[in-house]
Structure 1
């Protein structure tokens, strides 16, 4: 195994997944991925712009202002620390969601040519699991790479 992508959202199940990778998977490269949903600021209050239409916002500046991005970075840093404490030589990756979280995970895995995607699961069962497919279930069904789904702990 050379490249492993760990989907990390800060939950107990994601923490458990990182720990399992450290215990059971040998990899040359481990990438801790946190997917985040941008929160774009609303439009400015009405103002008078005497030199014509308002200038478009600078997208790089918006990332600096986006609290969701800052939160994702903190979550990813936590996952990275956990991975390193589990003996993994890991690198961070934060990606803004494109459509759905599961599709973003698959696209990130494709981009880094991951040999394995690792994710935790919420562990729903029964009728609820039939009505609500999990992110890990979608990654498993729609991705074209092996997926290790670590179940919730007891």
Structure 2
């Protein structure tokens, strides 16, 4: 049984790791961090940087930061009781798609992810990584609600 845990450093993804550790203590897990290249292109476009840019140094920095983030998440997963290793992907077009592809590659038994707590119309307009993973994964997905979701219902 291999569990794939999506980790982006947010409080929600930390909560997802903690919950997975409580629920699935001792299980094999891969903690995945993904850098979405489209986000960087969007930032460049917003800044008016349309001309081609040599991105070698930038790519190396992104690769290192994504690796560090995944290793941080794997460390948290080990502390939570999972037998975890880190994995990072830094050239993704869409985070949700990369999560689904890696789950397929690993033949993950379960995907664990947090959520930002978007609901209703906001979720329909913006979409969310967890929602897209849930609808495209073709395997069980555990979405751990954010602290905000829990507080809203109380």
Short-chain TM bin: 0.7 to 0.9
Q: Distance in 2 between matches of 1:29 and 1:148?
A: 16
Task: State TM-score, norm by structure 1.
Answer: 0.79
Give unmatched runs, 5+ long, in structure 1: 45-61
2:117 equivalent to 1:123: yes
User: How many matched pairs?
Assistant: 136
Deviation beyond 3 Å, 4+ runs, structure 1 = 37-41, 62-65
Q: Distance in 2 between matches of 1:130 and 1:82?
A: 32
User: Residue 63 of structure 1: CA displacement?
Assistant: 7.8
Q: C-alpha deviations, 1:17-49, integer Å up to 9, x for none? A: 0001100125642000001135699239xxxxx
Q: C-alpha deviations, 1:63-90, integer Å up to 9, x for none? A: 8952211111121121011111111110
Contact kept, 8 Å, 2:18 with 2:77, in 1: the verdict is yes
Q: Distance in 2 between matches of 1:104 and 1:97?
A: 9
Please point out which of 75, 89, 97 is paired with 1:95: 89
Task: State TM-score, norm by structure 2.
Answer: 0.79
- Tell me whether 2-11 or 28-37 shows the greater mean CA deviation: 28-37
Give unmatched runs, 5+ long, in structure 2: 42-51
Which one has the bigger helix percentage?
Answer: 2
Quick check: which has more Rg, 1 or 2? 1
- Aligned-CA RMSD value: 2.3
Partner of 1:17: 16
Contact kept, 8 Å, 1:4 with 1:27, in 2: the verdict is no
Residue 114 of structure 1 aligns to a residue whose secondary structure is coil
